[in-house]
Amino acid sequence: EVQLVESGGGLVQPGRSMKLSCAASGFTFSNYGMAWVRQAPTKGLEWVATISYDGSSTYYRDSVKGRFTISRDNAKSTLYLQMNSLRSEDTATYYCTRELMGAWDYWGQGVMVTVSS
């Protein structure tokens, strides 16, 4: 059974950093591109960042470029999102997702990140 389990969220002050992790199991992690998608409270979905199966390519939305870094450790089957210089508008539930034909076929349960003083 495919499982994606996020961790590392919580309350953080504006300007500070936070690192999210996503532990994957039930599939060969190193064969799949992965992504982070977020959802602000009572809002829609927003793609954040994507990483290729081998980590050689990464993509970011403009609003997080230069502040967020997506990475992966295929030996540990774990996806990461390092978030620096956090802003109030980054407040959201962050989902770890697996890529299938450009769509995302498995999602984690989500982890809440609240940026507030």
By CB under 8 A, name the binding residues for another protein: 37, 44-47, 50, 59-62, 95, 100-110
Nearer CB in complex with another protein: 43/87:
43
Residue 41: other Cβ atoms inside 10 A: 9
* Residue with Cβ nearer another protein (1 or 117): 1
Residue with smaller CB distance to another protein, 92 or 108: 108
Cβ–Cβ < 8 Å for 29, 74: yes
Interatomic CA distance for residues 100 and 13, integer angstroms: 35
Nearest to 10 by CA among 105, 103, 111: 111
| Coil vs helix vs strand at 89 | helix
Minimum distance between the CB of residue 7 and another protein, rounded to whole angstroms?
A: 15
CB of 31 to another protein, least distance (A): 17
How far apart are CB 94 and another protein at their closest, in Å? 11
